[in-house]
A and B are shown apart, each in its own frame.
Chain A
Amino acid sequence: QVQLQESGPGLVKPSETLSLTCIVSNGSISGYSWSWIRQPPGRALEWIGYVLDTGGTNYNPSLKSRVTISLDTSKNQFSLKLRSVTAADTAVYYCARRVDTILVTDAFDIWGQGTMVTVSS
Chain B
Amino acid sequence: DIQMTQSPSSLSASVGDSVTITCRASQNIGAYLNWYQQKPGKAPKLLIYAASSLQSGVPSRFSGSGSGTDFTLTIRSLQPEDFATYFCQQSYTTPKTFGQGTHLEIK
Contacts and interface: CB of A to CB of B under 8 A. Distances in A.
The listed residue with most B CB atoms (<10 A of its CB), out of A44, A96, A99, A112, is A44
A58 B96 CA distance: 11
A44 B100 contact: yes
B34 interface: yes
A32 B16 CA distance: 38
Contacts of A104: 49-50, 53
A45 B32 contact: no
A44 B98 contact: yes
A62 interface: yes
Chain A, interface residues (CB within 8 Å), range: 20 to 34
A34 interface: no
Interface string A36-50: 000000011111000
Interface string B65-101: 0000000000000000000000101010011111111
Nearest to B32: A105
Contacts of A60: 94-95
Interface of A: 4, 43-47, 58, 60-62, 94, 96, 99, 103-114
